[in-house]
Every structure is written in structure tokens, then in C-alpha cells.
Structure 1
Amino acid sequence: MRIASLLPAATEIVGALGLADDLVAVTFECDRPEGIRATRPVVVDTALPAGPTPGEIDAIVRDRAARNLPQYELDRDALRDAAPDLVLTQDLCRVCALPESTVTEALADLDLDATVLTVDPHTLDEVLDAVAAVARAAGAPDAGTDLVAGLQERLTAIDQAVGGRPRPRVLALEWVDPPFLPGHWVPAMVRRAGGEPLAGIDGGRSVATSWEEVAAQDPDVVLVAPCGFGLDDAVAQAEEVRERLPGVPMVAVDSASYVVRAGPRLVDGIEAIAHALHPDAVPAPPPGRITRLS
């Protein structure tokens, strides 16, 4: 099957299923399986400029949304040449990836007869369901069953490691300028890691707030997980948050890989957060995933 993945999480799922050879098109953000972006046509790119600060990104995104301008650009010629049988897309967040409506319109205009699977998980359980759905659509249901079972086993191991221990009050921030409280599966990640999530909405969208409201939550730990940023940037932004919340321990995480991407590595993220919250109960993750700032 020829698979075009227009969503980094879906590309990662396809790779984890052992189907990387079936990928015929990816996005500019697809970095798992390693090297996939260099060996496949990139059919989705960002419409945003390179290098802005979080505050500038927020302003640019809001301005483009107000003017009904896209946040992403689809290379229709490259998609036509890829001739996919299956297209993986999303409609969860127009800021995070190309929306489904743009994809279906392009397929119709290009006269491409491809199956479209929209991957729109809102919760951690739905992420696991999405893994199984991609496997079925790609003709590999058994691989999906095995992958989900392995992820569930790892989650159970975390539950057992942190069960019965004191649960620190954790405030997760998905953005820092302005601050955004977490949504979707992030509160569940904190909970499964042995923390008590503050604010945020299970299964809902992240919500902008103020620093006064952030401080009023009185957290034991702040998890700085800025959407789309890796660990180095998360650490730098955590340093800025620490100036606003002096004395509160900060945990910075590679959010782009382990928090906001709705794929198998969310479990890696939960393991890393669990170690940050309970270092004497959960093994340390590989370097580069998380940093605790005292």
C-alpha cells in the first residue's frame, strides 16, 4: 500500500508498525522513522516564517487565523506524483497540522482515488485507538494489536511504580507567551506519571491564561512542554517561567517528540515525566528527553 502521511504522528505510527517502506509522502516535520524526511517527497510545509519567538509565533498564528489564511502549504503536484492509496490526515488542530478539508479538496481536484483516514485523538486512550486504526487502514491489524499491547504493558508498569506514592501537584504549560494550560491527553499523561494535574481540560483544547492565574494554582512542579519545541528550547523557556514563579521546581520536556505528538512516543514521555516526579521509583529515561531545573 502506498501511504501519504500528512501528520507527523501518523508517520511515526506507520514506522512503529514496521510499514515505513510503504510511505510515499511525508511532511516537513516528520522525523520518525529516522531519516524518513530525507528519503520521501515532502508534500506539506509550514506557511510561517522561521525563527520567531513564542510570543511572535502566537501573534502570527492569530493574525493568519483572523484573515483565514492557512498555517500550512500543501504541494499538490508532489501529492499527485506520490499517487497514494491511503492518506493519513487530521482535523484536531489547524495550528498543528494541515486540516482534513484541505486534503479532501486537493484529492478531488487531483482526481486521486485514495482512502482518507482522519486521525483525531483527544485523549490518551484515543491515541492508542488511533494506532490500531492506522494499522487496520494500512492492512496490518495484527501489527497494530501487538504495538498497542506493548504500549499498554509499559503504562501498566508505570502505574505500578508510582501507585500509592504522594502525588505532586503539577501545572503543565503548553505555551509560555502567553501561557496556555494543557488540554487533550496532557493532563492524563501527568496523572499516569504519578502527578496531580492542575487546571487544564482532559480531552479538550489548551486554553490561554494569565501568569496571575498560573501562580494562583500554587503548583509543586511546573512542567514546561511548549508545543512543537525540543528540549533545548523548553529548558530556555523554563528559565523564563522560573523568573515568574521563583522557588517552584521546573521540569522541561522535549514536547515536540514526547508530549504533543499523538503517537507511540507519548508513552516515552510519560515514563520521562514519571522519573522527574518520582526519581527513586522510575528509571531515568535516555538523555535528551527531559531536564529538571531545581
Structure 2
Amino acid sequence: MSATRGPRRIVCLTEEPTEILYALGEQDRVVGISGFTVRPPRARKEKPKVSAFTSAKIDEILKLQPDFVVGFSDIQADIAAELVRRGIEVWISNHRSVDGILDYVRRLGALVGAGDKANAYADELKRGLDAIETESAKLSRRPKVYFEEWDEPPITGIRWVAELVRIAGGDDVFPERALEPLAKARILEDGDEVIRRAPDIILGSWCGKKFRPEKVAARPGWNAIPAVRDGELHEIKSPIILQPGPAALTDGVREIARIIQDWATKQS
């Protein structure tokens, strides 16, 4: 049985490992989670919250006696280093693409002794993406899409977001920035660049705060952008798109696909 293999007491410093472990039926191993966790809803009720994104309650984590801690990216490097110094085994993943997310599901499953279930789950996620891509290929025209991750300063979408936009039938207007792993490399120094690239749709997901389309529309000169002119400014809630896990590959991409399909219907 899988329960006899792999770590027994896992702390998840971000939401996506929690969502994956619950999806695999391995939630009993999870002993601590991120305060930003909203998926699945029951995890919030059942598990102690011991970390934010850039900070963590190290003493609270140690009290949970974890034998494995999972985090994400350079942003959690300091938390990871402190836990490693305290003798805890830590895995910091750094996946930034759709293929990377699918591979992450498989690797996390393998690390906790649930490899077969994880492979099956990753295959299921991939089938869902393939179905959306097949459907979106039928669009008579692909919209140009500007995705904004933050407003002050404006930050363009990360790689997995640009890839999901493409799968959903659109084309990200800043593909070269999407390849930059660090947010600071995706800061738009010149907002007029969005005007020049003339997106048909603007998607906003301001990490942790409500997207304000009226504020975006009021930016100087932005009334010339097709998306602003046509009222195509839409919020994608950050929990379903800005975490590199199952949420983005399911609810997130489906929401983008719905917006693009609606736009295409209006065009025809």
C-alpha cells in the first residue's frame, strides 16, 4: 500500500502541492498548508496554516514535525534555507510551463510514493487541455490577448498563462516576456507598448486583489485599444490561474476559453 511508502508528514508552502495531494487521495499526509490555500476548500478547514508566500512560521512548521516540505521558486529560497538548516528535507520546484506543471504532478506523486495515481491524474489533466485545444482550433479568428498579473507597475503574464491562452484559442501579445521566469523581467516600463500591440481582449488577475477594469480603461491613450473600445476587459481570479498547479490547467484555462469563445461569437 502507498501509505507505507514516502513521507508521512508533509508541509506545503504553496497551494498547488496541497491541491495535488488531495486529488491523489493523499491528504492525510498533509500536516500544514499555505495561508493562501483556497483549493480544495476543505483543506483550509482541516489543516493549520503555517506560511504565506514569502514568509513562514518556522517554529510552527517545526512543531508539526514534518519529514518533507514542498515549496515553489526562488521566492521561497530563504524559507527553504532556514528549514534545511534545521534538518528538514525540502523540495523547491521551479516549473513555469504547462508541461512543467504536468511533470510536477508526476514528480510530486513519485516523491510521496503515489506515482501511479499521479501519472493517471497528469494524463487526465492533459486530456482536458487537449480537448480545449481541439475546440479552440475551430475558431475563425484568434484574438490577441494581454494578460496583466499586477497593475502598479504593470506586469505581464507568466509562461504557463501565455501557453494556456494559446491552448484556449488566443495569442499572448507579450510572448517574449512570458519566457522570463522572474516577475521583474515582466514589468512593462512603457504602458504604451500595450497600445501598440492592440490586444482584442485584456485579462486581469492582480495577485490577491480585485481587478478593476475601469481603472485599466482610464489609462492615458488606452481607449484606442480594441479590447477597451469593445469592453473586453475580464477578471480571471488569481487562485485559478496564478498558481502553477491543477487549478490553472482546469478552471483557469476553461475560463479563458469561455471568454475567447464569447468574443469569437460576437465577431461572427
Aligned to 1:104: 81
Aligned to 1:170: 145
Letter in 2 for 1:19: E
* Cα separation, 2, equivalents of 1:222 and 1:155: 22
Q: Give the CA deviation at 1:2.
A: 1.2
Aligned to 2:168: 193
Letter in 2 for 1:219: P
Higher deviation after alignment, 29-38 or 128-137: 29-38
Runs of 4+ in 1 over 3 A off after TM superposition: 279-282
* Cα separation, 1, equivalents of 2:55 and 2:163: 32
Aligned to 1:256: 238
* Cα separation, 2, equivalents of 1:6 and 1:248: 40
Q: Give the CA deviation at 1:248.
A: 4.2
**Matched-pair contact (CA < 8 Å) for 1:172–1:182:** yes
Say whether residues 1:272 and 2:255 are aligned partners: yes
User: CA RMSD, aligned part only?
Assistant: 2.1
| Higher share of residues assigned helix | 2
Q: What are the equivalent positions in structure 2 for 1:71-82 lying under 5 Å apart?
A: 72-82=54-64
Q: TM-score, normalised by structure 2?
A: 0.83
Q: What are the equivalent positions in structure 2 for 1:104-143 lying under 5 Å apart?
A: 104-109=81-86, 111-112=87-88, 114=89, 116-143=90-117
**Matched-pair contact (CA < 8 Å) for 2:200–2:232:** no
* Cα separation, 2, equivalents of 1:182 and 1:255: 14
* Cα separation, 2, equivalents of 1:213 and 1:181: 11
Letter in 1 for 2:255: A
Say whether residues 1:211 and 2:191 are aligned partners: yes
SS in 1 for 2:158: coil
**Matched-pair contact (CA < 8 Å) for 1:168–1:196:** yes
SS in 1 for 2:262: coil
Q: What are the equivalent positions in structure 2 for 1:1-294 lying under 5 Å apart?
A: 1-45=8-52, 72-92=54-74, 94=75, 99-109=76-86, 111-112=87-88, 114=89, 116-165=90-139, 166-200=141-175, 201-205=177-181, 206=183, 207-209=186-188, 210-229=190-209, 233-234=210-211, 237-244=212-219, 245-246=222-223, 247-267=229-249, 268-279=251-262
Gaps of 5+ in 2: 1-7, 224-228
Letter in 2 for 1:102: I
Gaps of 5+ in 1: 47-71, 283-294
* Cα separation, 1, equivalents of 2:264 and 2:133: 11
* Cα separation, 1, equivalents of 2:14 and 2:242: 12
| Matched-pair identity in % | 26
Higher deviation after alignment, 30-39 or 150-159: 30-39
Q: TM-score, normalised by structure 1?
A: 0.77
Q: Give the CA deviation at 1:79.
A: 1.1
Letter in 1 for 2:43: I
Q: 1:147 to 1:253 in 2, by over 3 A?
A: farther
Q: Give the CA deviation at 1:34.
A: 1.1
Higher deviation after alignment, 100-109 or 210-219: 100-109
Q: 1:192 to 1:222 in 2, by over 3 A?
A: same
Q: Give the CA deviation at 1:228.
A: 3.1
**Matched-pair contact (CA < 8 Å) for 2:13–2:52:** no
**Matched-pair contact (CA < 8 Å) for 1:161–1:281:** no
* Cα separation, 2, equivalents of 1:259 and 1:190: 11
Q: Give the CA deviation at 1:257.
A: 1.6
